[in-house]
Structure 1
Amino acid sequence: MAPKVLVSDKLSETAVQIFRDRGIDVTFDPSIGKDKDKLREVIGQYDGLAIRSATKVTEKILEAATNLKVVGRAGIGVDNVDIPAASKKGVIVMNTPFGNSVTTAEHAISLMMAVARQIPEANASTHAGKWEKSRFMGVELTAKTLGVIGAGNIGGIVCDRALGLKMKVVAYDPFLSEERATKLGVTKVDLDTLLARADFITLHVPLTDKTRNILSAENLAKTKKGVRIVNCARGGLIDEDALAEALKSGHVAGAALDVFAVEPATESPLFGLPNVVVTPHLGASTTEAQENVALQVAEQMSDYLLSGAVQNALNMPSVTAEEARIMGPWLKLAAHLGAFAGQMTDEPIKAINILYDGKVAEMNLDALGCGVIAGIMKATNPDVNMVSAPVVAKERGVQISTTTQAKSGVFDAYIKLTVVTDTRERSIAGTVFSDGKPRFIQIKGITIDAEVGQHMLYTTNEDTPGIIGTLGQTMGENSVNIANFTLGRSEAGKDAIALLYLDAPAPEAVLEKLRATGLFQQVRPLVFDVA
């Protein structure tokens, strides 16, 4: 059955057609986004929900979204989506951070030019019939130093455009490498150096605890007298009261803001001040950007629903379509390893340790880790998935660690999972053979080679004669067919294990017969999702 997607906000017809062309059953009804009761009534029918800003994806909406797998926001901001609630529900939340990058960067450059030449004030004066040529004395951008706070995607485009205007560019970004700075053609500096050197400052960082009020009264005082400041990123990055005071004192010569701490901004200490240019959050407001983000969200959601590829997710590691194809068997193995450990563990888990050996260590470990954790958590909560499982693990205080190492054995690659409780550690390792089928290769340090089936039986015992016969005879007498039978032992006469792949689950009465023999320390039925 084709996945079903609801488009509840205004998206272009071209974007809606992308869903249709990809074989997705799409409902386009922009009126639903404004009617929360109607949305709650119908959302249970859909696998995907495509939105802009009008639709509010609240916890109540998510409670009713019994089939929902993905929410796609055409744009960057996701303030209208309850991401923690979506994560707990196992719903991926995607946005489109790059569809409006050029548009936002161009707006920043436009505002910088506007404040450099006092264009809005000069325009208003001239419209009023005045001819105040001598009043509006501007400054050139050429040869001036631009300080870029945040040299990511949008900031990088601003750097490129500024260099084209023959500006000197310095950038502050803790994640900016020297190699990336050289490629951009900018000088990497610390924040204090940027504040001291820049003639113009433009901000391109997200709003976090670390960046909130990054241009505080203290930092504004460190800037060069006559600096001009531009913010097209997020409100809250600048202390607006402090900026207003710096403008009134003349220390800051001008400012241009597209974003404010409180929006819609109907009042601000900056309003009415000379040489302050303000716009109502227009950074992404171009025809091209609106079309780009709509097309991008349609492609991303289609890719996920049809192939499992995850792009620009805010609560899940991204997995490209190519990664999804290559990693598919390894993701299955990760889930199987987790499922084994989860079903075998009866007490609270304190820690999960994952070792990646060989070529698998070069894959998307965040996604593989989510697969392992989901496999473990499903043993006690069948509704969890790769999105919600890490949230569940964190809520339970489970410590998760990851280790990688170069190829160290006969296998090109393997994953080893160790689960730690108050009383024991339980480990299992597996690999993927050339046929693409996951295999268990080690349990409790004992080497095995077991194909993974939907219904399996795991037993442990002391290595003594008669175990194989007892297992085979008991299964045969009760019409339980064994598809595959794997044995392993630590050494003669010591710990031994058996893993049986069954065509159907063994009835509880059969398991009790095995336990009654006194030969087995453990008799555990296991179930794996091999679809």
Structure 2
Amino acid sequence: MPRVLVSDKLSETAVQIFKDRGVDVDYLPDIGKDKEKLAEIIDRYDGLAIRSATKVTEKLINAASNLKVIGRAGIGVDNVDIPAASRRGIIVMNTPFGNSITTAEHAIALMFALARQIPQANVSTHAGKWEKNRFMGVEITGKTLGVVGCGNIGSIVATRGVGLKMHVIAYDPFLSEDRASELGVEKVELDELFGRSDFITLHTPLTDRTRNLIDATAIAKMKDGVRIINCARGGLIVESDLVAALKSGKVGGAGIDVFEVEPATESPLFGLENVVTTPHLGASTTEAQENVALQIAEQMSDYLVKGAVSNAINMPSITAEEAPRLKPFIKLAEVLGAFVGQVTEDAIKEVEILFDGSTAAMNTRALISAALAGLIRPQVADVNMVSAPIMAKERGIILSEVKRDKSGVFDGYIRLTVKSEKRTRSIAGTCFSDHKPRFIQIKGINLDAEVGQHMLYTTNPDVPGIIGLLGTICGRNNVNIANFQLGRNRPGGDAIALLYLDAPFPPDVLKELRANPKISSAKPLVFDVGAA
């Protein structure tokens, strides 16, 4: 039974979900604050469920020898060292939809608060003052709302803005014209959004490209009196530049829920009359906190019990429905990669993966990750589907994917072509009704070979006597052959042989085989033929 540690406060219902789905769970909601104690016990668990209090550092990840998945109940994963987790093959999940409405509503609330100076008027009125003329606001209706980032949250803000009779413009490199039309917004470039907007709201993740998105240069392009709202990430705005613009009047007001450093007990934004601040309340509603807790429990349980992957930061998603059908092809992709990885000794430059027929309709991102894991594992033993794409990128491997309709006798197959510094190698395979991977083509030569744990791959000129030679050498040295497959490209041309063996091929016998002039090359192979 898989075991999960909940190290932050999650609802009792979420804990019960783990139990109901066959996961052993320890609920220790305060241990996330004790780094040393958490590091002492983390190796006992397959999963770690957290909120924001637990800091999953590289040190903690290195101590988590059995950890398979980290689940963050919420959107932000700033408290998780994702590169370190990926290198160790640990899936990192979040819940991007559980608090989308809540965060969007908070952005709209800050927009109203800025437009009508509600917090300032509230303080004044509580003090017994009646300053109607001091708190002159502006209408929302008819104003231009600029939405930077039109994903899950930004799109909700956009539709709310349309409902408020605002003219909504949006900047998002991934926003299609069709999607913009569906939302009722105008898609624009960022500089145009800066120049036209009366209100600007940020809903983009914090990356190297978006860090310091709003600085003095950006503010200079904006309308005088623009109001800026940030419920996304603090690092999107250069706070010192925003303070200067607020004091000069260039920016009419700001609604800030997130800060460069949190918790923000001090900030140059504090005390400014035209600033409304809240302590990262975007996701802080009863409904949102319950939703994300339930979602992360469901996601982690589905992965640990069924192999389904959803909302992962560093791994392709695999639904619970497709996992059983995809499983044998994940194993196929892995052994195809493992074959080429074991016969290639020079640096790999390019990888092309062809999905033919039924495989083209599958979750090819997962299959690509599996193929890369198999390809790299002969050089890096602890690589897996999570870390393989990162390692391939770090090594400068150029990856391409091709999909096409059924083109041969097989309903579907996968072909892996790898270019190294010295040569190009190609291998194809499929799965039959028994769900076992089979090699169907090597070096353009057709064959049908079952994949075994221990195999021997040889190349030779197509001349008489090869079968007898291999059989004689194996028999004389007590090497038992479970299966034997041959293939050639043409009579008298190039030929290959694949021997499925009961045990590893002995090194001294390999030396004898390689010394024979009829054998061009001989390579013992090892495959993990267990469950995917």
**Cα distance per residue 1:345-377 (max 9 Å; x no partner):** 223323323223333233333222111110012
Equivalent residues in 2 for 1:51-90, closer than 5 Å: 51-90=50-89
Runs of 4+ in structure 1 deviating by more than 6 angstroms, as ranges, are none
Counterpart position of 1:245: 244
SS in 1 for 2:179: helix
Aligned partner of residue 236 in structure 1, secondary structure = helix
Question: Take 2:149 and 2:396, find their aligned partners in 1: how far apart are those partners?
Answer: 34
Superposed displacement of residue 270, structure 1? 2.3
Partner SS state of residue 425, structure 2? strand
Which residue of structure 2 lines up, in the alignment, with residue 183 of structure 1?
182
Deviation at 1:472, TM superposition (A): 3.5
How far residue 123 of structure 1 moved from its aligned partner, in angstroms, is 0.6
- Deviation digits for residues 417-465 of structure 1, max 9, x if unmatched? 1222222222211123344332211111111111212222222222222
Range that drifts further, 221-230 or 231-240: 221-230
Paired AA for residue 407 in structure 1: K
Q: Please name the residue that 2:194 is paired with.
A: 195
Q: State the Cα distance separating 1:509 from its structure 2 match.
A: 4.8
Q: CA deviation at 1:506?
A: 3.8
Report the more deviating stretch, 42-51 or 151-160. 42-51
- Write out per-residue CA displacement over residues 110-153 of structure 1, whole angstroms, 9 at most, x where no aligned residue: 11111111110111001111111222122222222211111111
Match of 1:526 in 2: 525
What TM-score, normalized by structure 2, do the two folds share? 0.94
Structure 1 residue aligned with 2:334: 335
Q: Give deviations 1:389-432, integer Å, cap 9, x for gaps.
A: 22333333333333334433333332221222222222211123
Matched, 1:417 2:416: yes
* C-alpha distance in 2 between matches for 1:253 and 1:174: 28
- 2:12 aligns to what? 13
Q: How many Å apart are 1:479 and its aligned residue?
A: 5.1
**Residue 402, structure 1, aligned to residue 401, structure 2:** yes
- Kindly state the Cα deviation for residue 92 of structure 1 after the two structures are TM-superposed: 1.3
In structure 1, what is the Cα distance between the partners aligned to 2:87 and 2:236? 30
CA distance in 1, matches of 2:421, 2:160: 58
Q: In 2 relative to 1, CA 394–163 (structure 1 residues): closer, same or farther, beyond 3 Å?
A: closer
Q: Which amino acid aligns with 1:411?
A: F
Q: Give secondary structure in 2 for the equivalent of 1:90.
A: coil
Give 1:339 deviation, angstroms.
0.7
Does structure 1 residue 26 correspond to structure 2 residue 22?
Answer: no
What is the CA–CA distance in structure 2 between the aligned matches of 1:387 and 1:215, rounded to whole Å?
Answer: 34
Pick which of 203-212 and 121-130 moved more: 203-212
Q: In the TM superposition, what whole-angstrom CA distance separates every residue of 1:234-268 from its partner, at most 9, and x where no partner exists? A: 11222323322332333332221111222222333
Inter-partner Cα distance in structure 2 for 1:243 and 1:340 = 57
1:22 counterpart letter in structure 2: R
* Residue of structure 2 in register with 1:223 after alignment: 222
User: Counterparts of 1:95 and 1:358 in 2: how far apart (Å)?
Assistant: 33
Q: Aligned in 2, Cα 1:188/1:391: closer, same or farther, shift over 3 Å?
A: closer
Counterpart Cα distance in 2 of 1:210 and 1:509 = 56
Distance 1:518 1:217 in 2: 74
Tell me the SS of whatever aligns to 1:295.
helix
User: Does 1:167 find its partner at 2:166?
Assistant: yes
Query: Judging changes above 3 Å, is the alpha-carbon distance between structure 1 residues 224 and 397 closer, same or farther for their aligned structure 2 residues?
Result: closer
C-alpha distance in 2 between matches for 1:489 and 1:346: 24
* Range with bigger deviation, 73-82 or 315-324: 315-324
Map of 1:482 onto structure 2: 481
| Aligned residue type for 2:313 | L
* Other structure's SS at 1:303 match: helix
The aligned counterpart of 2:262 is: 263
**TM-score normalised by structure 1 residue count:** 0.94
Q: Does residue 1:283 correspond to 2:282, yes or no?
A: yes
Please give the alpha-carbon distance, in whole angstroms, between the structure 2 residues aligned to 1:431 and 1:264: 54
Task: Tell me, in whole angstroms, the C-alpha distance in 2 between the residues paired with 1:190 and 1:421.
Answer: 41
% identical equivalent positions: 70
Counterpart in the other structure of 1:361: 360
SS across alignment from 2:235: coil
Q: Work out the CA distance in 1 between the residues paired with 2:222 and 2:382.
A: 53
Residues 1:111 and 2:110 are matched in the alignment: yes
Corresponding pairs, count: 530
Corresponding residue SS for 2:355: strand
Deviates more, 1:257-266 or 1:514-523: 514-523
Secondary structure in 2 aligned to 1:176? coil
> Post-superposition shift, 1:179?
0.7
Q: What SS does the corresponding residue of 1:171 show, helix, strand or coil?
A: strand
Partner of 1:38 in structure 2?
37
CA distance in 2, matches of 1:248, 1:32: 43
Q: Residues of 2 paired with 1:303 and 1:142: CA distance?
A: 45
Q: CA deviation at 1:169?
A: 1.4
Structure 1 gap ranges (5+): none
Structure 1 Cα separation of the partners of residues 516 and 171 of structure 2: 71
* RMSD (CA atoms): 2.1
- 1:210 corresponds to: 209
Question: Could you report, residue by residue, the CA deviation over 1:195-214 in whole angstroms, capped at 9, with x for unpaired residues?
Answer: 23322221111122332333
Aligned to 1:505: 504
The 3-state SS of whatever aligns with 1:321 is coil
Q: In the aligned structure 1, how far is the partner of 2:21 from the partner of 2:101? A: 28
Distance across 2 between alignment mates of 1:147 and 1:505: 65
Distance 1:211 1:41 in 2: 37
Amino acid at match of 1:34: K
In 1, the alpha carbon distance for the partners of 2:210 and 2:508 equals 62
Question: What's the counterpart of residue 438 of structure 1?
Answer: 437
Cα distance in 1, alignment partners of residues 507 and 194 from structure 2: 72
Residue in 2 that maps onto 1:496: 495
Distance 1:180 1:106 in 2: 21
User: What's the offset of the Cα at 1:478?
Assistant: 5.2
Distance 2:26 2:10 in 1: 12
- Per the TM alignment, residue 36 of structure 1 is displaced from its structure 2 partner at its CA by 1.8
Distance 1:530 1:60 in 2: 33
Return the letter of the residue paired with 1:109: I
How far, CA to CA, are the matches of 1:350 and 1:201 in structure 2? 45
Code of the aligned partner of 1:23 = G
CA distance 1:251–1:64, shift in 2 (3 Å): closer
Alignment of 1:445-464 (within 5 A): 445-464=444-463
CA 1:198–1:397 in 2, change beyond 3 Å: closer, same or farther? closer
For the residue of structure 2 that corresponds to 1:322, the secondary structure is: coil
Q: Which moved more, 1:331-340 or 1:306-315?
A: 306-315
**Is the partner of 1:520 in helix, strand or coil?**
coil
1:513 deviation in Å? 5.1
Give the partner amino acid of 2:368: G
